[in-house]
Homo-oligomer: A and B are copies of this chain.
Amino acid sequence: MEKSDVVIIGGVACGCKAAATLARRKPELEITVFQKEKELSYAACGMPYFASGDVESFQALTETSYNVVRDVGYFKNSKGFIAVTESEVIEINRDEKKVKVKNLKTGDSYDHGYDKLVIATGATPKKLPIDIPKSDRIMPFTRPDDAKNFRKLAQTGGVGNALVVGGGFIGCEVAEAAASLWGIETTLVEMEPQLLPYALDEDMAIPVGKEMEANDVKVHLSTAVTKFELVDEDKVRVTLSNDEELEVDYVFLCVGVTPASHLAEAAGLEIGENGGVKVNEYMQTSDPDIYAGGDVVESIHQITGNPIYLPLGSIANRHGRIIAEHIVAGEDRFPGVLGAFMVKVFDLNVGSVGLSQQAADEAQINANSVWASFVDKPDYYPESQSISLKMVFNPEDHSLLGIQGVGKGDIVRRIDVFSAFLQNKCKIDDLLNFEHGYAPPYAEALDPLYHLGTIAKSLENGFEQDSPGDDYSEGDFILLDVREPDEVEALPFKAKNIVHIPLNDLEEEADKLDKSREIVILCHRGMRSYQASHILKAAGFEKISYIGGGTTLAVKSLA
């Protein structure tokens, strides 16, 4: 029986990272990676962009920056470890410290011994609770062949319309790929009442749905597929839970993934409640000679301390290094996850990190939210774009809990900075002390996080915000729109009792408003409404609040 110092099952993100780091840290180690597929270390997250045609060839996803394919030869010569492809590990024998490997080309099986074992088997698509006819027209989107299959059909003009099942981030990326690049008439269905559930609160997901629809993707929320039927070789008839029927050329099953932990489970390793392999902070499983990392493991959330399943390539890579360090006797620990996430939906940048209001509520953490819209550079600077942010924090101890962002402007910068603040367990005041890199081509003089900090503090002085996700068209309040007349004309807001007084006239005209009525203030981004709240409060008004993020976020009530 052959034997390696370290055997790694899976050669994509975590597996290859662990192997390469091990080889660098201790060149004398013999390391063998078994990979089920032909491709090694491919950029799985780039598949939607290959499917769309943004990325020319699949090979680009398997190449280094200098156009060398990351194949068996590359890993041997440049990275110092052995990769064996098209070889599936079908059994782990912990007592004898060996794995059974099946050569998928020949069908033969053989044993391979290990001192340390790393399970990096990734994830598999979740199964829908309905029958799915076997067809290359109804496919998940998790493996290279899925992307290649779709692109081949799309390229030959074989897909006129398509259905995307699932509005998570892969579903959103795939919908964009289909609709924008191939001009495919695309429909997306999502069981939850919002797109990007779990990552965003519902109010922050509304602009995402608007963007989909502005780009001709039909979106059905709170809707499930109840039936798939093959009409003929090229057509699928789909029945939805709202009794609608559609016939499409292609169905993407993007209902999420689940840890590919069967091998670990069969070996008797401890499995978490979400199906992921349980690991400690060194990424060791319940068997200290066996590590696991990447999409197969359960993570611990840094804020809640609760288990969470977070299959992301960025985290998988970091797992790989921690595993390698611990095997060579390092003391590095994985700190748990914060859930940082980004997705591009047509021209909209969307991201979040930490807890949403909903996630905080579910974890029974005292949480409050503030919203605001900004520009990512000063208004006067060319190409300035809007960004809207929602920040979640603990109103009691002022600790930061999370942020969500959506807009055509630079969202990822604020997600990343906020992630650094969360990692350091920061408070609202730390945002006010943040020193950002300022020059007009990059930022406004005060950073959006600074403003969110002051808004959060203003809640304590009685300046209330309303969620931009609410419906303002009806209700027992006066909606005070403090925008300028040309803004109101360009972007009317629908509300029954609407009054227009530009901010600059408000102090003078405040007596036109009925002090006994509840007043909800609105502007373009929220900052003028905040100022208007102060003016009205100073004028003796008591029942006032304003819509966080202004018309930029409150897109539901726009005409």
Contacts and interface: CB of A to CB of B under 8 A. Distances in A.
Contacts of A410: 413
A314 B344 contact: no
A2 interface: no
Interface stretch (A61-69, A92-100, A101-109, A389-397): A61-69
B169 A439 contact: yes
A419 B434 contact: yes
Contacts of A67: 484, 486
B66 A524 contact: yes
Interface string A480-515: 000110110000000000000011111110000000
Contacts of A240: none
Contact of A440 (B43, B415, B416): B43
Interface in A297-325: 312-318, 321
Given A45-B445, A78-B504, A443-B412, A342 B421 contact: no
A243 interface: no
Interface in A1-47: 13, 23-24, 27, 43, 45-46
Oligomeric state, in copies: 2
Nearest to A538: B27
B380 A46 contact: yes
Interface range for A: 35 or more
Contacts of A316: 445
A343 to B, nearest CB: 6
B379 A65 contact: yes
Contact of A24 (B49, B315, B508, B531): B531
A99 to B, nearest CB: 27
Contacts of A169: 439
A340 B436 contact: yes
Contacts of A507: 77, 80
B416 A423 contact: no
A70 to B, nearest CB: 11
Contacts of A23: 534
A312 B375 CA distance: 20
A156 interface: no
A417 B415 contact: no
A531 B412 contact: no
17 contacts: A43-B378, A45-B438, A45-B439, A54-B382, A65-B375, A65-B524, A65-B525, A74-B504, A78-B503, A78-B528, A78-B535, A340-B435, A341-B439, A342-B441, A412-B443, A413-B416, A415-B436
